[in-house]
């Protein structure tokens, strides 16, 4: 079971896998699609959350701190990014 499946079950109390077909349930599939959808900047990430940020030239890895997006790509940190158009949560690895 993946970390996303575990998170879905913890948040909803529902099973991610249909025990009869052994396939993902429709509810889990809809929830997963919602998790992997770009979000407008008006919908704020959690404080300190690391996300993908879409800017005019492509996407960057950013961290959301004090209402602002900052570069957090493993090499550079601390440069504020002012032109984030939308953001996407980074799914957990398994």
Domain ranges of the chain: 3-35, 39-89
CB 87 within 8 A of CB 45: yes
| Local confidence pLDDT in tens for the 94 residues of the chain | 688 888 889 989 998 888 888 888 888 888 888 888 899 999 999 999 999 999 988 898 999 999 999 987 666 667 888 889 999 988 766 5
DSSP letter assigned to residue 37: S
pLDDT of residue 46: 93
DSSP state of 66: T
Q: Is the pTM of this model over 0.95?
A: no
């Amino acid at each position: 079971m993946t970390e996303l499946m575990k998170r879905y079950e913890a948040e909803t109390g529902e099973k991610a896998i249909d025990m009869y077909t052994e396939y993902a349930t429709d509810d889990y599939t809809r929830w997963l699609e919602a998790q992997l959808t770009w979000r407008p900047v008006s919908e704020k990430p959690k404080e300190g959350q690391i996300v993908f940020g879409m800017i005019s030239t492509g996407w960057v890895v950013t961290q959301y701190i004090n209402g602002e997006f900052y570069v957090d790509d493993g090499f550079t940190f601390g440069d504020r990014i002012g032109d984030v158009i939308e953001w996407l949560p980074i799914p957990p690895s398994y």
